[in-house]
Amino acid sequence: MRTLIVGGGIAGLCTAWGLARLGHEVALFERGPLPQPLGSSFDQHRLIRHPYGDHEGYARMIDRAFEVWDLLWKDLGSRHHARTGTLALTGNGADWAEVSACTLGRIGRPMTEIPVGELSRRFPLLDPAGLERAFWLETGGLLFAQDIVADLVRHLATRPGVTLHPGTEVREVDPDRARLTTSDGKVHTGDRLVVAAGAWVGRLLPAIGTRVVPSRQVVAYFEPPPEARAAWATAPIVIEKTGDVGLYLAPPAEGRGLKVGDHEFSLRGDPDARRDDATPAEIAPLLKRCRSLLRGFDRWPAPRLQVCFYSVTRDERFIVEPVGRAGWAMSPCSGHGFKFGSVMGYELAATLVHERDPAIHSRWAAGLAGAAPF
Ligand SMILES: Cc1cc2nc3c(=O)[nH]c(=O)nc-3n(C[C@H](O)[C@H](O)[C@H](O)COP(=O)(O)OP(=O)(O)OC[C@H]3O[C@@H](n4cnc5c(N)ncnc54)[C@H](O)[C@@H]3O)c2cc1C
Whether residue 134 contacts residue 87, with contact meaning beta carbons closer than 8 Å, is answered with: yes
Residue 374 lies in a domain: no
Domain end point (choices 274, 292, 312): 312
Average pLDDT for 51-61: 96
Residue 53 lies in a domain: no
Percent of the chain with pLDDT over 70: 99
Mean pLDDT confidence for 149-167: 98
Q: Where are the beta strands (DSSP E) in 178-231?
A: 179-182, 187-189, 192-195, 213-222
Q: To test ligand 1's pocket by mutation, which of 333, 334, 343, 346 has the most ligand atoms within 8 angstroms of CB?
A: 333
- Per cent of the chain over pLDDT 90 is 96
Same domain, 118 and 241: yes
In this structure, the residue with its CA closest to atom 13 of ligand 1 is 336
The CA distances from residue 157 to 16, 27, 197, 199, in Å, are 11, 11, 20, 25
Query: What local confidence, expressed as pLDDT, does residue 263 receive?
Result: 86
At residue 244, the pLDDT reads: 78
Domain with 15 in it: 2-45+145-212+315-365
pLDDT, one tens digit per residue, over 293-327 is: 999 999 999 999 999 999 999 999 999 999 999 99
Residue 68 lies in a domain: no
Residue ending a domain, choose from 273, 293, 312? 312
The residue whose CA is least distant from atom 27 of ligand 1 is 198
For residues 296 and 161, membership in a common domain is answered with no
215-254 pLDDT, tens digit per residue, is: 999 999 999 999 999 999 999 999 999 887 889 999 999 9
pLDDT at 245: 82
Residues 298, 155 share a domain = no
Q: Is the same domain home to 208 and 218?
A: no
Which atom from ligand 1 is nearest to the alpha carbon of 250? 8
Q: Would 223 be classed as within a structural domain?
A: yes
**370 has pLDDT over 80:** no
Sheet containing strand 187-189, strands side by side: 170-174, 179-182, 187-189
Judgement on whether residues 171 and 217 belong to the same structural domain of the protein: no
- Determine how β-strand 192-195 pairs with β-strand 327-331: parallel
pLDDT of residue 371: 63
Statement to judge: residues 234 and 133 lie in one domain: yes
Total count of domains within the chain = 2
Same domain, 224 and 129: yes
Supply the CATH number for residue 154's domain: 3.50.50.60
**221 and 266 inside one domain:** yes
Which of 305, 259, 308 is closest to 284 using CA atoms?
A: 305
Q: Do residues 133 and 17 share a domain?
A: no
Q: What is the pLDDT of residues 4-49, one digit of tens each?
A: 999 999 999 999 999 999 999 999 999 999 999 999 999 999 999 9
Average pLDDT in the chain:
96
pLDDT tens digits for 266-303? 999 999 999 999 999 999 999 999 999 999 999 999 99
Q: Is residue 329 part of a domain?
A: yes
The ligand 1 atom nearest the CA atom of 218: 1
Give the span between the Cα atoms of 285 and 296, in whole angstroms. 18
Q: Cα of 9 to ligand 1 centre, how many Å?
A: 6
My answer on whether 235 and 184 are in the same domain is: no
Confirm whether 50 is domain-assigned.
Answer: no
179 with 222, same domain? no
Measured between its terminal Cα atoms, the distance across the chain in Å is 21
Which pLDDT value is given to residue 273?
96
Task: Tell me if 77 is assigned to some domain.
Answer: no
CATH number at residue 286: 3.30.9.10
Residues enclosing ligand 1, CB less than 6 A? 6-12, 29-32, 36, 39-41, 46-47, 169-170, 196-200, 204, 217, 219, 261, 308-310, 332-333, 335-339
pLDDT value, residue 374? 75
Residue nearest to atom 5 of ligand 1 (CA): 46
Is residue 296 one of the residues assigned to a domain? yes
Neighbours of 183 (CB within 10 A): 11
Ligand 1 centroid from CA 236, angstroms: 24
Point out the domain boundary residue: 268, 296, 312: 312
Same domain, 322 and 231: no
In which band, very low, low, confident or very high, does the pLDDT at 81 lie, cut at 50, 70 and 90? very high
**How far does residue 214's CA lie from ligand 1's centre (Å)?**
11
